[in-house]
Amino acid sequence: SAVISQKPSRDICQRGTSLTIQCQVDSQVTMMFWYRQQPGQSLTLIATANQGSEATYESGFVIDKFPISRPNLTFSTLTVSNMSPEDSSIYLCSGITGGNTEAFFGQGTRLTVV
């Protein structure tokens, strides 16, 4: 199994600012993903973080709003840019070691935009 440390665990931010969320994995993982969970909703995939190249975004999510970095196999960041109250959500990262293996999640970042 992999342990994923995600920070910050929570934050309250002013609209118009940006927040960068970090995920550190204790072992190398093949794939890393970023999810958003709006209040009372399920998890929605934002993007797949690709090592050394641009992330692959799902429909409805764009790089300018959610830039993602993945410089190596154990670390990734997600930035929520130019925030508005609608961005208030839980953001979670996950990692898997291969296409048919168990996924593990970070503790989540609870973001409130005021």
Q: Which residues bind another protein (CB under 8 A)?
A: 1, 31, 33, 35, 37, 41-45, 48, 90, 92, 94, 96, 99-105, 107-108, 110
Instruction: Kindly report the backbone phi and psi dihedral angles of residue 112, in degrees, each rounded to the nearest multiple of 5, phi listed first.
Output: -120, 125
Least CB distance to another protein at residue 1 (A): 8
Quote the radius of gyration of the chain (alpha carbons, Å): 13
SS3 44: strand
Least CB distance to another protein at residue 93 (A): 11
Least CB distance to another protein at residue 20 (A): 19
Q: Which is nearer to another protein, 75 or 105 (by Cβ)? A: 105
Q: Which residues contact 53 (CB under 8 A, 6 or more apart)?
A: none
Q: Which is nearer to another protein, 12 or 82 (by Cβ)? A: 12
Nearest to 106 by CA among 12, 14, 10, 24: 24
Q: Which is nearer to another protein, 4 or 83 (by Cβ)? A: 4
